[in-house]
Structure 1
Amino acid sequence: MLLTVATGLSHVQLISRAHDVITTTQMMTLDALVTRRLSGEPMAYILGSREFFGRDFLVSPAVLIPRPDTELLVEVVLNLPSRTQNIRALDLGTGSGAIAITLACERPDWRVCAVDVSGAALMVARENATRLDAHVSFFESDWFSVFQGSNAQFDIIVSNPPYIEPADEHLSQGDVRFEPITALTDGIDGLSCYRTLLLEVATHLAVGGHFVVEHGFTQGEAVRDLFAQAGFSSIQTHRDLAGHERVTLGILQGL
């Protein structure tokens, strides 16, 4: 894979030109790429992209690398029963835009919005939306702040917030060492973002609407309790391919 980046040739082209000698410039580029990988830098950052739900998404150190676990969240949302023909969906903390853009591509009749507090992340998300011809409205915002004072409401609100506990040893291991720390951990207990979101979500979620979140595999019970305390009903948790509790959703009930 690194050789394709260094030479600018596809795998098929490399095979057909197997006897060609790479140039000095290409060798220097390859050496630099190998050095980056040996340092532990994720392949996604080196290659500049990662596949998610069958589509290639551009990534940079400004965004979390899309993960297969998050595809479960998308699948859950796509399988929700439709109460209306004009679904309005909001992705909170969009990062690379993988969730919002996938929803927009899979459901082109939906009106999809996405927010992120990071302007650098939104640059990546907007570029992905352009490349994939996805119609998503992006806003730079700390969660719901951009909608304060408005009557903006959504039928589906989703989020994959920072949920790793700050003392988790995995933060100092593997690929996550290179990812934006604020996209990984809340710096408190791994649950503070859910508490914050659940304080405001009812203001912007239509009655009967769904709130869907990804969480850590040990956090299912705690997240369900937070949903219940916030007045949600029909609370369900879905397990990932490894059998771990990964995605929880609930329905907002009227008064």
Structure 2
Amino acid sequence: MTGGGADGTGIDPWLSRSQALSRITAAFREAGIDGGASDARFLFLHVLGITQTELVLSGAETLGEQGAKRLGEAMQRRLAGEPVARILGEWEFWGLPFILNAATLVPRPDTETMVDAALSLHATRDRPLRLLDLGTGSGCILIALLSEWTQAFGVGVDRSHQALGCARSNARMNGVGRRAAFLAGDWCSALGKPFDVILSNPPYIPSATIPMLSHEVRYHDPIGALDGGEDGLAAYRRITAEVSGASDGRRLLARAGALVFEVGYDQAEDVVRIGHEAGFAQGSIRHDLAGHARVVTLSGL
């Protein structure tokens, strides 16, 4: 970047805010980063801790040494292929803020389709429902639902203690900490009492596909949250069997309850079939905003 910063990152402290944003945007464009302009603006505002309005009103203000240093470091990390959410250590989901760590996936807009599907099961928002989120990660799905179902109680399960610590913090930060519990476990193994709604966004990428994923995913997302076994369906088979009681006779889904899955774009019909084999009478499919079959809801157990 023209001039070179005093700290070697390539951003000069004397640049105005507007100039710096333009140069970061140009650097991302030259590097071929998809959505580079959006990434540049998002990083810029968050790293400097300012709003878009503040940028417009104070665009002529110079960065200063600390601002240039922080921006330079963030820019270099993005140019090296690190996703914006990983650089910031936080992301938004369902209009709520979520902190992230190395053990959690970055919440995606597609996953909000799961929240929509679950909410459609119970229109009354003050019912005392029992929710279970298997492979909770950052807790975003469970916490989003608890923010809508104000009398519900939820349990999030994950194998990663690091992810569970993140989820607990997010529950407290979003005001639902007293209605959420987080347990270490391997899917349903640590659970007993039936739940009204069980949700899971499990690993669903076939193992052989993992090496072909983008750099951002392969090197910055936890592989354990991606790898779904040989055909990508291993977790669905196990969860449906455990939830229905087909594996050990210990039924985890309440009468009239529902199991809600996020699925890969070409997996919905297979997951419905797996559900039928486990004893679920009904299987419905919901599409995301891009038109992909994204959520399968199993019921009628």
In the superposition, the TM-score normalised over structure 2's length comes to 0.78
Structure 1 counterpart of 2:60: 19
Q: Among residues 280, 284, 291, which one is paired with 1:243 in the alignment?
A: 291
Q: How does 1:26-105 map to 2 (within 5 A)?
A: 26-81=67-122, 85-105=127-147
Report how far residue 169 of structure 1 moved.
6.1
Q: How does 1:62-211 map to 2 (within 5 A)?
A: 62-81=103-122, 85-134=127-176, 135-147=179-191, 150=192, 152-168=193-209, 171-177=212-218, 178-202=220-244, 203-211=251-259
Contact 1:206 1:252 in 2 (8 A): no
| Structure 1 gaps, min length 5 | none
Contact 1:88 1:110 in 2 (8 A): yes
1:157-195 Cα offsets, whole Å, 9 max, x none, are 110000011222685315312111111112432100011
Q: What letter matches 1:141 in structure 2? A: G
Q: What letter matches 1:214 in structure 2? A: E
Secondary structure of the 2:241 match is helix
Q: What letter matches 1:38 in structure 2? A: L
1:224 and 2:272 are equivalent in the alignment: yes
Percent identical across equivalent pairs? 39
Contact 2:158 2:184 in 1 (8 A): yes
1:53-90 Cα offsets, whole Å, 9 max, x none, are 11121122221111111111110100104799421110
Query: Which one has more relative contact order, counting CA pairs under 8 Å at least 6 apart?
Result: 1
User: In structure 1, how many angstroms separate the alpha carbons of the residues matched to 2:170 and 2:184?
Assistant: 16
Report how far residue 15 of structure 1 moved.
3.2
User: In structure 2, how many angstroms separate the alpha carbons of the residues matched to 1:137 and 1:127?
Assistant: 11
Q: What letter matches 2:52 in structure 1? A: H
Report how far residue 210 of structure 1 moved.
0.5
User: In structure 2, how many angstroms separate the alpha carbons of the residues matched to 1:227 and 1:44?
Assistant: 34
Report how far residue 124 of structure 1 moved.
1.2
Report how far residue 51 of structure 1 moved.
1.6
Report how far residue 205 of structure 1 moved.
0.7
Q: If each structure's strand is expressed as a fraction of its own residues, which one has the higher value?
A: 1
| Structure 2 gaps, min length 5 | 1-41, 245-250
In the superposition, the TM-score normalised over structure 1's length comes to 0.91
The structure having more radius of gyration, on CA atoms, is: 2
Contact 2:242 2:252 in 1 (8 A): yes
User: In structure 2, how many angstroms separate the alpha carbons of the residues matched to 1:121 and 1:186?
Assistant: 18
User: In structure 2, how many angstroms separate the alpha carbons of the residues matched to 1:180 and 1:211?
Assistant: 24
User: In structure 1, how many angstroms separate the alpha carbons of the residues matched to 2:166 and 2:122?
Assistant: 31
**Matched residues, number:** 250
